[in-house]
Each structure stands twice: as structure tokens, then as C-alpha cells.
Chain A
Amino acid sequence: MSHPASASRYFVPQPSYWPLVGSCALLLLASGAVLMMNSVANGGFVVLAGFAVLTTMLFGWFGRVIGESEGQRYNLQVDRSFRWAMSWFIFSEVMFFVAFFGALFYIRVLSIPDLASPAQAALWEGFQNSWPSAGPAATDPFSKMHAWGIPAINTLLLLTSGATLTWAHWGLVAEKRSQLIIGLVLTIALGVLFLGLQVFEYAEAYGHMNLKMTTGVYGSTFFMLTGFHGFHVTLGVTMLTVILFRVLKGHFTAERHFAFEGVAWYWHFVDVVWLGLFIVIYWL
């Protein structure tokens, strides 16, 4: 049944129920979300059930992958496959953010100036081309999010976390276990701190600045872009925590530790997206 890992033999995993479980989870999540958004009773329970099944699937599936990895089932070819796949996955994530950055660009460069143009004056009298803008029909005043407060601190936090993660990686390669663990813990702590400040910023926006998701295009782009980024940071912190637990259990060697590297790539990707956000959402 099991072949020893070698360069000449291909690795094909055994049959598995996890894909089907994952599909059921997504069907539950999607139908639950549809019910919830249309105010049909019990939609929330369906979503919760979907999350439960999805979590079970993630634990089961990744548990099996980790088991296979620690059982020396993966040869160098599998390792290269993982590297290709993670790169392409991150590329797809980049393209997801491109859609939202593109929407922001379009709104600021085309849609707002056009709505303020003389051609539209009959429809939207007196609307001025400015940014931030909640659109010509907005009446509720709101305040702009400034770059040089919490966002600047958050930039510093994320950049530092990239450095601590690299330092941890050096520790792994040089087989300095304490450096590895301290580096990982620091990275996770910086990520959690970032998320905490982000939550605080959202609370400020809703509580004191009257800046909401419903605040025209400014609110839409601000909350969607920073929200999806925050979601990705949450995923990154979760993955880093898994890596920390695996390190504590003695997984990874100085030569073979792609799971660590893959998560590190992901973390740097999240970092780079933040720099883009900081510039075009907060600063400019």
C-alpha cells in the first residue's frame, strides 16, 4: 500500500471522503447565507452547521496531509508541486484584490468626476468632484479615515511581522529552535495586535465618525478592501498558529519545511496588499 518516498515513484493519495464533506459544507454555507440574507427563519443555523462541517473537513483533510508529510510519503516532486500550487494560489488571491482595487480606481478616476461633470448637473445639481465622497445623494456628514494614526502604526506592525517571520525562518534553517519559536510567537502576536487595532478602527468609524459600509462609495470601498484584507490576516494568523503548534510538536527539518514557507509566502502577500491599501485607501 505505501511506497517509500523516492524520486522515481509518483505519489498518489488514497481515496478520501473529505472532498465530498467539503462540498456539503459549502452547499450548507451557501444555502444558509441565501436564507439569512433574505430573512428566512433558521438560515443562521444552516450557516453554523456549514461552518461546523467545514471546520471538521479542514481538520480532517489537513490532518491527513500533515500525517502523510510526517510519514515521509512526499518526495521532492511533491514538494515542487506544493511550491507551484501555492504560488498560483497566491496569484489568484492577488487577482481577487485586483477586482476591488480596480473598482476603487474606477470610482475615483471615472465615476465621481463624471457625476460631478456639467453633463450630469441637471440630475445631481451642485455635486462636487472630491474624495472622499459618499456620492451625490448623500446627506449624512462623515469623517475621513486618516493615514497617520492607527493605519501607520498597523503598517509598522505588519512590516515588523514580516521581519520577525524571516528571522524565525533563519532559526529553522540554522536549527536554532528557540529563535524559531520566539520568531513565530512574535509574528502571531503582531498579527493579532494588527487585527485588534483594525477592530478598534472599525468601532471608531461606526461609533464616532459616522463612516459605515452604507456611506456611499467611500464606505463601500473602505470596508470591503480593508475587510477582505483583515479576513486574510485572520487566515494568516490561523495558519501561523498551526505552524507554531507543529513546530512545538517537533515537525519540520532544516531541509524540508514547505508548510512553513508556504505560510510565510502567504503572510508576505498579505503584507504587500496592506501596503497597497495604506497608500490608496488611507493616504492618497
Chain B
Amino acid sequence: MQATSHTGYAGHHDHDSHGHPTGWKRWVTTTNHKDIGSMYLWFSFVMFLVGGAMSLIIRAELFTPGLQYVSPEFYNQMLTLHALIMVFGAIMPAFVGFANWMIPMMIGASDMAFARMNNWSFWLLPPAAILLTASIFVPGGAAGTGWTLYPPLSIQMGMGMDMAIFAVHILGMSSIMGSINIVTTILNMRTPGMTLMKMPLFCWTWLVTAFLLIASMPILAGAVTMLLTDRHFGTSFFSAAGGGDPVLFQHIFWFFGHPEVYIIALPAFGVVSHVIPAFSRKPLFGYVSMVYAIAAIGLISFFVWAHHMYVTGIPLTGQLYFMYATMLIAVPTGVKVFNWVTTMWRGSLTFETPMLFALGFLVLFTIGGLTGLVLAMTAVDIQLQDTYYVVAHFHYVMVAGALFSAYAGLYFWLPKWTGHMYNETLGKWHFWLSMIFFNIAFFPQHFLGLAGMPRRIPDYAQQFADFNVISGIGAFGFGFSQLLVLVIVVQTVRGGARAASRPWDGAHGLEWTVPSPAPYHTFEDPPHFDQAEAHG
């Protein structure tokens, strides 16, 4: 505390006293990492509701066999936009929001390295969201290819496809700028004494994530650029008649797409690595092995892409290589799960909402990881390719993995952001409703997939009816439970019990040494850093 006492509160310094726009101008022009972090989080929540509404259209259509509410074309557009919006509009921006809020406070920096560019990274998201959502209303409708945008279908689609392509370009620019900012901030803005191996794990996960983004987003940009020229300028990258190959797109896409999975998962690992030690009142078990596991996952994620493509006719040796390489990822992931569990071993555990979500993450992500291992086996995957088993698998990773971890982080840091405690009762309601309805929605989909129900089709055979009813009930229950978040967050922003500077007695790190709410400019000078707040 002594080190931060002179850094002052909002309004104390000449920085704040004049020249700062207020009202909407504040948000449009801001160069403050906290403002930008909040905008990222609100944006991601709005997109989460939009994408969620689309998934409910999908589940409503699937509630009974036959075609009820929407045409097959519209169904395809909904599942495509649901995925694109959830991946690029909801989950990724949510974790970038956390990164913006927390990384400067965790490493003792005043702000991100490039505060003005940081604002642009955020403000690129609305144009992309406009392009994606508006594409529903153009002739031919939105892209209906699935988020993977495979040719030849994506070459035949109407102008909605072009809008999706440009949206991806703009989102890519935003991600690359954001990532360069994060890498530079972490490498160059740490307070003296905070060596890389004493850095909070959330920063480590974002350092590797940002590297994955810088390396993989340009690949996606290249892939969709080739789609665009194949569509409009007569190139033949994905056309066999011209010497190209539609499978080439799948290779390029998944060379981006698999690191993308870890782009979403790694920051989630980072959040959980803060929450579990705090509520176990023990330091994280195996910090160094955690760091190496993160780096290993990031590296291996570039060499496993064709496990998405076992049925495309790749050679047997290729299938074997990608099978073993994919299974190799289970090793560092297993290290992480082992370390989280061991952190709790003989800890003084309490179960506030952040801890509940972290535990929910731990259990359900492990299930999602294990079904991933099942799918990694070529012989099994050939049966399960494009079935609901795959849908169940990646929703366990994306929703129960990434989203639950984001909620853990939200409840964990909300007191620091707002200066108020959230309503613990409502928080617990939110967790249990989410946990129960999530499993009702997605667990039966394993059975549907094993029984052979294909994904991305609005109709199905009679024998799948019962499980689809259960899944539909779960999906609607899960969807409406998420509105609780809005209530809880608005309540907490407006009032509630005052939060202490360290509202969780087991939490460590520089962010807990400053008052709650954190001052507008947290560290104007590098703070003192010692072993008491170190993570390593």
C-alpha cells in the first residue's frame, strides 16, 4: 500500500482534472484501459445475447422433428452467425476486456503500451458486428456455411458471404492490434522486480494467447481473401477445374482454427488459475509447470490442425500423425488440471460464486477435454464427424470452459471494478441454474451424436426426438438464466456493500493493493513489488 498511496485517486492528478471529455465522448475518445475494458465486456455481453437468441431459434426448430418455424436456409444462417458471433463477438472480446482491465493493474503499469490504438482495437468491433448482423437482411441472406466457411458452398453464396468475409478481416485487424498491444505491455511495462517468472498467470496465458493471435489471424485473413478472389476475381485456389482444391481451404482455415481454440481456452485457464488459489487460500501449485504447460499448449496447437479433417481423404500416415499430436496436447492440459486440483488439496476452501464457476469450469472442461481425446482417435472420429457428439464436445469446451471461466473472473474482479460487492445469493442462483441447465442442454447431445444425428440440419429422424426435447428445455433454461448476469452487474455497479481493497482474503497480486474501485489511473509511477504479491 505504501507504494501506491501517492498515486492518488481519480481526479487527484492534473491528468484527470481537465481536458477529458465526458458523456458519450468519453467512451468514443478514451485512452483509458479501464474504460476500454468495460466497453469490451459490455459489447461482448450484448453479442452474447444476440448469439444466444440465434441459438434459441435453432433449438426451437429442433424441438420436434420436421420443419416448424424457419426455412432450412435461414436455419443455416442462424447456426453460422451464432458461431461467428459467439466466437469473435462474445468470448474473445470478453477475455480482451479482462486483459484490458487487469493486465496493467497486475503488472503495475499505468495503462496499455498503446492506449490510443487500444481504443481502435475496440471500435473496430462494432463495424464488424454491423456487417455480420446486417448480412441477414441483404438479398440471399447471411452466410449459411457454418463458421468454417468451407468452399465450394461459400463460393456459391450471395453478398452476405462477402459481408462475413470483410467482417472477419476487420475482426482480424482488431485482434492483431489488440494482441500486439498486450504482448508489448507485458514485455515492456512490468514494474521493476516483476520478472517473467513472477508474473501473474493470467498475464502469462495472455502473452501466449496474443502470440497465437498474431500468428494465426493473418492466416485466416489470407484464407478468406482467397475465398473473396475465388468468388469475384476468377482465381482457382479452391476449384479443382483450375488446379486448386477445396480441401486446401480446410487446411488453411484449421491452421488458424485450431490455435483459435486455445486463443479462447488459455485466458480462461488464466482466470481459473487466479480464482482457485484465492478461494483455497493457498498459492497456486506448480506455477513453473503451469507456465511451461501454457507455452507447450500454445506451440503444439499449431501442429494438430488436420484432426478436424480425418474424413477429407488425407493419407493414413497423416491421420496417424495428427492423432498422436492431438493426444499429446492432453499432457500439458492434464498438468494444468492436476495443478488446479492439487492447489485445492488441504486448502481452506470456501465456495463463493467465483469459486463455484471455477469448479464448474474444472469439472465440465475436463469432460470436454476427454471427449476431445475421444474425437482425436481417427477411427472413432470417422464415425462421429459432423454429428452432435462434436457439438456437445465443443460446447463443453467453449461454454463450460470459456464462458464459466469468464463468469468466475467477472464475479472475482467485479468488486475491484465497481467498489461494491455483488449479491452473493443471486450469484449462486446464477451458477446453479447455469450448471444444471447447461448439462441438460448439452449432455444429451453426446447420446444424439453417438446414435448418429448429424449436425447443421434443421430436421431429424423420429428416434432422436426425446433427447432433442431435453436439450431444448436445457437450452431455453440456460439462455434465460443468463439474464441474471445483467441484473447482478447493474445492481453491483449502482450500489451494494462497499468492497475492501482486497475483498477476497486469499487473493494475491498488485491489483489488490489499490483501493476498490480502482482509481481511474492506477499506477502513475511503477509500484513497489515484492514477494508478498508475487505469483511465482
The answer to whether B240 touches A115 (Cβ under 8 A) is: yes
Could you tell me the distance between the alpha carbons of A267 and B162 in the complex, rounded to whole angstroms? 32
Interface size class of A (residues with CB under 8 A): 35 or more
- Looking at A77, A84, A213, the one whose CB has the most chain B CB atoms below 10 A away is A84
The answer to whether B234 touches A214 (Cβ under 8 A) is: yes
Could you tell me the distance between the alpha carbons of A16 and B21 in the complex, rounded to whole angstroms? 10
Q: Would you call A279 an interface residue if the criterion is a C-beta within 8 Å of the partner chain's C-beta atoms?
A: no
Could you tell me the distance between the alpha carbons of A14 and B116 in the complex, rounded to whole angstroms? 8
Hey, which chain A residues are within 8 Å of B524, CB to CB?
9-10
Q: Would you call A246 an interface residue if the criterion is a C-beta within 8 Å of the partner chain's C-beta atoms?
A: no
The answer to whether A96 touches B242 (Cβ under 8 A) is: no
Could you tell me the distance between the alpha carbons of A61 and B117 in the complex, rounded to whole angstroms? 10
| Segment at the interface with B among A20-28, A171-179, A183-191, A254-262 | A20-28
The answer to whether A19 touches B184 (Cβ under 8 A) is: no
Q: Would you call A242 an interface residue if the criterion is a C-beta within 8 Å of the partner chain's C-beta atoms?
A: no
Q: Would you call A15 an interface residue if the criterion is a C-beta within 8 Å of the partner chain's C-beta atoms?
A: yes
Hey, which chain B residues are within 8 Å of A16, CB to CB?
29, 31, 116, 119
Q: Would you call B241 an interface residue if the criterion is a C-beta within 8 Å of the partner chain's C-beta atoms?
A: yes
Hey, which chain A residues are within 8 Å of B114, CB to CB?
81, 85
Known contacts A89-B180, A92-B214, A216-B242; is A10 also within 8 Å of B234 by CB? no
Hey, which chain B residues are within 8 Å of A56, CB to CB?
none
Known contacts A34-B159, A98-B219, A99-B223; is A15 also within 8 Å of B31 by CB? yes
Q: Would you call A134 an interface residue if the criterion is a C-beta within 8 Å of the partner chain's C-beta atoms?
A: yes
CB distance from B189 to the nearest CB of A (A): 7
Q: Would you call A162 an interface residue if the criterion is a C-beta within 8 Å of the partner chain's C-beta atoms?
A: no
Question: Contact check: which of B28, B31, B239 meets A13 at CB < 8 Å?
Answer: B31
The answer to whether B111 touches A12 (Cβ under 8 A) is: yes
Could you tell me the distance between the alpha carbons of A61 and B31 in the complex, rounded to whole angstroms? 14
Measured CB to CB, the nearest residue on chain A to B18 is A1
Measured CB to CB, the nearest residue on chain B to A28 is B127
Could you tell me the distance between the alpha carbons of A18 and B124 in the complex, rounded to whole angstroms? 12
Question: Contact check: which of A12, A15, A98, A224 meets B226 at CB < 8 Å?
Answer: A224
Hey, which chain A residues are within 8 Å of B169, CB to CB?
30
The answer to whether A135 touches B229 (Cβ under 8 A) is: no
Q: Would you call B30 an interface residue if the criterion is a C-beta within 8 Å of the partner chain's C-beta atoms?
A: yes
- What are some 30 contacts across the A-B interface (CB < 8 A)? A1-B19, A10-B109, A10-B110, A10-B111, A12-B110, A12-B111, A12-B115, A15-B20, A19-B120, A23-B123, A23-B124, A26-B127, A34-B159, A77-B189, A80-B188, A84-B184, A88-B183, A91-B215, A95-B216, A96-B218, A96-B219, A99-B218, A99-B223, A111-B245, A134-B236, A135-B240, A212-B234, A213-B235, A214-B235, A223-B235
Binding site for A on B (CB under 8 A): 14-15, 18-21, 25-26, 28-32, 109-111, 113-117, 119-120, 122-124, 126-127, 130-131, 158-159, 162-163, 166-167, 169-170, 173, 176, 179-181, 183-184, 187-189, 214-219, 221-223, 225-226, 228-229, 231-237, 239-245, 248, 251-252, 255, 521, 523-526
**Closest 7 pairs (CB-CB, A-B):** A99-B222, A135-B243, A19-B120, A137-B241, A214-B234, A15-B29, A220-B235
